[in-house]
């Protein structure tokens, strides 16, 4: 039984001993990891980390929080495009819209998202989308570009947004939020994700699942989230592990570790 952590950040400085985190993940059955970039500099760090570890791949992209910096950097599109040509690059992301904090203005977030979608479409790599409180603007942009090959990371919306995602053929990725949310609509959506569209992630070092709240999140915690979801969805852990691993290998074209 194996799992894939499709979204983590163990290349962050939070991990003084990333080797230990990788080994602990393997002991928990988490055999493949994707380190996800949040800025251009962070994407370079993720690329270098993936190069140094056999069971790790990376994505490159600029989080909506950093949209203003991306737009102000003259060679940003060229930098991003070069990163996406790296052999272990498996996706563009995380990119999207975040209206909850609005660290960058909404119009700049949309402009940055469009620019990165255009770069991503030229590479034919899948997208990792981050959307928080921006659905009303996100879906029209997606439809403008006819994006099909993508995952909604850290999904915590309800059945309405799930239906929108599935209509477009998107995958949906769940993490530790599911183990501590009090929102019935979030849990309902988690139950309704089809087996062939579900992915697992940690978003480590964030969103540590129950019963490890208060500790730093690590890729090994994928298993705890999987155990919770198997119970929630009334399916075996083995079945959930198999389906989510097959989905991850398919979407991200992961080679054997």
Angle between helices 159-167 and 184-192 (to 10 degrees): 30
Residue 11 in tokens: 């290349």
DSSP string covering 107-172: HHHHHHHHHHHHHHHHHT--EEEEEES-HHHHHHHHHHHT--SEEETT----HHHHHHHHHTT-EE
Mean pLDDT over 88-105 rounds to 96
**Number of helical (H) and strand (E) elements in the chain, helices listed first:** 11, 8
Q: Are strands 30-36 and 56-60 parallel, antiparallel or unpaired?
A: parallel
The confidence score (pLDDT) of residue 256 equals 52
**CA angle, corner 16, sides to 11 and 18, nearest 5?**
50
Quote the pTM value.
0.96
Task: Measure the CA–CA gap between 5 and 203, rounded to whole angstroms.
Answer: 9
1 CA to centre of own chain: 22
Residue 158 in tokens: 């309800």
Mean pLDDT over 142-146 rounds to 97
When the pLDDT of each residue in the chain is averaged and rounded to a whole number, the result is 96
State the pLDDT confidence band at 138, using cuts at 50, 70 and 90: very high
Task: Measure the CA–CA gap between 225 and 82, rounded to whole angstroms.
Answer: 34
The CATH T-level fold of domain 3-252 is: TIM Barrel (3.20.20)
Maximum distance among all alpha carbons in the chain? 51
Distances in Å between the Cα of 27 and the Cα atoms of 49, 93, 210, 239 are 20, 28, 19, 19
Residue 255 confidence (pLDDT) above 80: no
The confidence score (pLDDT) of residue 162 equals 98
Mean pLDDT over 206-222 rounds to 97
If residue 198 lies in a helix (H) or strand (E), which one and from where to where? Answer: strand 198-200
Task: Measure the CA–CA gap between 157 and 154, rounded to whole angstroms.
Answer: 9
The confidence score (pLDDT) of residue 14 equals 81
Q: Are strands 171-174 and 56-60 parallel, antiparallel or unpaired?
A: unpaired
């Amino acid at each position: 039984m194996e799992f894939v952590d499709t979204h983590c950040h163990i290349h962050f400085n939070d991990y003084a001993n990333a080797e230990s985190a990788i080994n602990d993940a393997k002991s928990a059955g988490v055999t493949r990891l994707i380190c996800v970039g949040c800025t251009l500099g962070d994407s370079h760090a993720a690329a270098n980390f993936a190069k140094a570890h056999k069971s790790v791949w990376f994505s490159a992209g600029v989080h909506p929080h950093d949209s203003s910096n991306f737009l102000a950097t003259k060679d940003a599109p060229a930098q991003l495009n070069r990163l996406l040509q790296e052999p272990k690059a498996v996706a563009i992301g995380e990119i999207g819209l975040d209206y909850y904090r609005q660290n960058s203005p909404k119009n700049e977030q949309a402009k940055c998202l469009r620019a990165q979608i255009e770069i991503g479409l030229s590479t034919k790599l899948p997208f990792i989308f981050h959307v928080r409180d921006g659905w009303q603007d996100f879906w029209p942009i997606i439809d403008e570009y006819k994006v099909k090959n993508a995952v909604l990371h850290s999904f915590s919306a309800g059945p309405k947004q799930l239906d929108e995602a599935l209509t477009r053929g998107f995958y949906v990725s769940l993490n530790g939020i599911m183990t501590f949310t009090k929102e019935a609509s979030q849990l309902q959506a988690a139950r309704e994700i089809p087996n062939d569209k579900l992915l697992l992630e940690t978003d480590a070092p964030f969103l540590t699942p129950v019963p490890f709240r208060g500790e730093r999140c690590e890729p090994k915690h994928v298993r705890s989230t999987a155990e919770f979801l198997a119970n929630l969805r009334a399916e075996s852990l083995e079945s959930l592990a198999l389906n989510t691993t097959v989905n991850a290998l398919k979407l991200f074209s992961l080679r054997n570790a």
